[in-house]
Structure 1
Amino acid sequence: MPKGKLVVLSGAGISVESGIKTFRDSDGLWENHDIMEVATPHGWKKNQKLVLDFYNQRRKQERECQPNLAHHILVELEKYFEVKIITQNIDSLHERAGSSDVLHLHGEINKAQSSLDPNLIYPLDHWEIKSGDTCERGSQLRPHVVWFGEPVPKMEEAIQLVEKADIFIIVGTSLQVYPAASLVDFVPHHSPIYLVDPQVPETKPNKNLIAIPENASTGMKKVKEMIIQSG
């Protein structure tokens, strides 16, 4: 019997439990840095060294963190479903937990890209990108991260995955970051949606949405039980 298609949209809340800090919209800071200085094309043009140093520290921090229970539950669900993960996160915790199919909407911190040609992407076998590290065309390497103000090149691929979902899980995001938040609009009308996040939107974006206002690990334990029993 073929497995049903389970599509997951994960956000910062699933990584916070592993010790990876994120910025808060309320103060616009990320690890005490103004996000406009470290996560925009303008910030890159203004001070490349600051941006490189910032992501080198984030990369080092990421490699010291470990996947948590929520990541491992998503791996366990591959026994029951064809699981496709779409993540807003730039860390590698899903892969390190063992998830076999992960699409990174906002890039991957453990990769570098050319500052001239975004299609030239390179895996990093160390945790630093230094000034003077260049791509094959001679331009400075930058973090392989989608910054504010840049297009999200994998959005169309993500939409195609969501359109085929038999079950859609949103974990660790309160649907405030666009365009990723708009993915919920592409879930088939008959498919249930489970939203796991302490901050549940006041207005349900879909009548089939089941809200679980808890952190990622606790909420995913409940979702696992619900969808396996219903299946």
Structure 2
Amino acid sequence: MLTVERDEELLVIKSERPLKVLSSAMVNPGIGYYQYFVNRTVSKDYYPEDAKREYEQFLQRYTVPLQATVAMMTAVPQRFVMREDYLDGGTSIDVFITAGLGNAVDVTQSYQYTYRPTVGTINIFVFINGDMSDEALIQAYNCIIEAKVKVLSERHILDKKSGTVATGTSTDSIALAVTKQGEYHEYGGSITRLGALIGKGVAATLHKAIDGYDAYQKGELQ
């Protein structure tokens, strides 16, 4: 069971109990058990000397328990977070995405130049209501990345430096969280039911998040 709080600056997702998480989040990346999941909006000129430390101090002031929290950062206002739920059989997933594309990068070309870190980013949270092996966890994480790359290709999002199709942004973050209750998955690759559900859900939700981002950039949404 997830509870969600959101304002212009902050999205806070809370689980009733700690979940097993694999993430590349800014705060508490890696593998562990966490109960709070945060997406924070900062201004486009946010460049502290130590962004991770500043973020940790921010969370402590907000009274979110730091050691129980996975946290990401974006320049996209939280009213543009896209949430969708998907179900197949005994397993369901909840997907939350913000899509900032101003820092799009083609990883196969980025060796040619150096990027200045920015806060334009794609942040993806996927919650799996089920259980899975460590192998399936890694395979499912890969499915999230593959779905993201596919959507950027379909939308023809370009790396402004190389002019080639972007594979992400230089600051993308992904968190995959598992309740460890319910249907068990030994495998989570692209041809499994779980992997296919993740691919479908992440792609559909990211398309909607990009639509919102585009409208925001054009001034159609405030």
Whether the TM-score (by the shorter chain) exceeds 0.5 is no
Q: State the TM bucket, normalised to the shorter chain.
A: under 0.3
Higher strand share: 2
Relative to the length of structure 2, the TM-score reads 0.23
